Amino acid sequence: MKTTISLLSVALFYVLSMGIGQTASAAEPLRIGLIGLDSSHAIAFTKTINAETPRPELADAKVVAAFAGGSPDISASRDRIEGYTKQISEMGIEVVPSIDALLKKVDAVIMNSVDGRVHLEQVKPVLEAGIPVFVDKPVTASMKDAQALYALSKSTGTPCFSASTLRFCSEVIELEKENKAGNIVGCVAYSPCKLDESHPDLFWYGIHGVETLFTVMGPGCVSVQRTKTEGADIVTGVWKDGRVGTFRGIRDGAAGYGVMVFGKKDIELVKIRASYDILVSEIVKFFRTGKPPVSPEETLEIVAFMTAADVSRDSDGKSVTLESVMQD
């Protein structure tokens, strides 16, 4: 009898072990939801993730639902949301009436709302539900809101991150490596810098060039000075190690993305070819691991840089410390 019971126990253990092994080895599908269908990024990211033959790192991830959102007082939102929502729907993605409805259907969220003013309000239920979220640029439209967003992320234990796609372009990644090797002593990063009265100056579009600057130089900026004309912005930062990095925002003449890099042995102009591919891969990887590729501290420093630039503008170009705007 004991032998029979023993054999039955072994058999039962074997069957259960096989079942557990199969569950553990099967890839769990990752259901992604979108918040904000007023940005072209919502279309581009979805096409990349839901491609018929996706890249290996995107396999088993799929955008399944979306909440349109929208800001009627911003033309870039108001004039585009209907068309983008239609495109998303035609791609077979369910458009739901609320963020709460969205959260019942997804494992992770990409927030593409073009209006940084609404990001904190929209992200609250996501973080409180414990669902990881990528917040597209700008993370918010103010220093105060950015600090509150990351404080909520910390208190709920829910990971999030924000970034411009320029950070994850191949040319910028290579320059970041050069900086970590100690080979870069300064740079001038440039990008278009369109303005919108709904946002502080650099938050609307200059964020692309500012984030490029920080990716190449690394964090550690302590003060900024700004010169603004109708056609351009020049914001010069001093880093704690004495290096100088500058953002040039372009509103007149030829525009594009790039970096003039001042190295220990050479000076080089690097033009950047903007692409979403690496950013999207990093977003999905983050959803899987819970480890953000950009720290809250660095993103808050970028927000402080842009905020201090406005204070400098209003103070006739005087030097403004990042610490001063982070404590206001």
98-135 residue pLDDT tens: 999 999 999 999 999 999 999 999 999 999 999 999 99
pLDDT of residue 23: 25
Task: Judge whether 325 and 307 are in contact, CB under 8 Å.
Answer: yes
Mean pLDDT calculated for residue range 286-296: 98
What phi and psi, each to the nearest 5 degrees, are found at residue 47? -60, -35
Q: Label residue 5 by pLDDT band (50, 70, 90).
A: very low
- Residues carrying CATH 3.30.360.10, the chain: 166-274+293-327
Contacts of residue 195, defined as CB under 8 A and 6 or more positions apart, other chains included, come to 201, 204, 205, 251
- Residues carrying CATH 3.40.50.720, the chain: 30-165
- Rounded to an integer, what distance in angstroms lies between the CA atom of residue 166 and that of residue 173? 9
Mean pLDDT calculated for residue range 22-36: 71
Per-residue model confidence as pLDDT tens digits over 163-207: 999 999 999 999 999 999 999 999 999 999 999 999 999 999 999
- Rounded to an integer, what distance in angstroms lies between the CA atom of residue 259 and that of residue 189? 4
Q: Return the beta strands (E) in 43-126 as ranges.
A: 61-67, 94-96, 108-111
Task: Judge whether 213 and 191 are in contact, CB under 8 Å.
Answer: no
* The pLDDT of residue 19 is above 80: no
Q: Walk across the sheet containing 108-111 and list its strands.
A: 94-96, 61-67, 30-35, 108-111, 133-136, 160-163
Mean pLDDT calculated for residue range 143-157: 98
Contacts of residue 321, defined as CB under 8 A and 6 or more positions apart, other chains included, come to 222, 223, 308
- Rounded to an integer, what distance in angstroms lies between the CA atom of residue 209 and that of residue 165? 10
Task: Tell which residue, 108, 157, 159, 165, has the closest CA to residue 136.
Answer: 165
* The pLDDT of residue 270 is above 70: yes
Q: Label residue 246 by pLDDT band (50, 70, 90).
A: very high
What phi and psi, each to the nearest 5 degrees, are found at residue 281? -65, -40
Determine the topology of domain 166-274+293-327 in CATH. Answer: Dihydrodipicolinate Reductase; domain 2 (3.30.360)
Task: Judge whether 187 and 245 are in contact, CB under 8 Å.
Answer: yes
Does domain 30-165 match CATH 3.40.50.1370?
A: no
Q: Which helix (H) or strand (E) holds 223?
A: strand 221-228
Take residue 158 and report the two structure tokens written for it: 């829910």
* The pLDDT of residue 85 is above 60: yes
Q: Label residue 15 by pLDDT band (50, 70, 90).
A: very low
* The pLDDT of residue 17 is above 60: no
- In this structure, the strands spanning 30-35 and 94-96 are unpaired
Of 61-65, 147-151, 305-309, 324-328, the least confident: 324-328
pLDDT of residue 27: 61
Take residue 258 and report the two structure tokens written for it: 């790039």
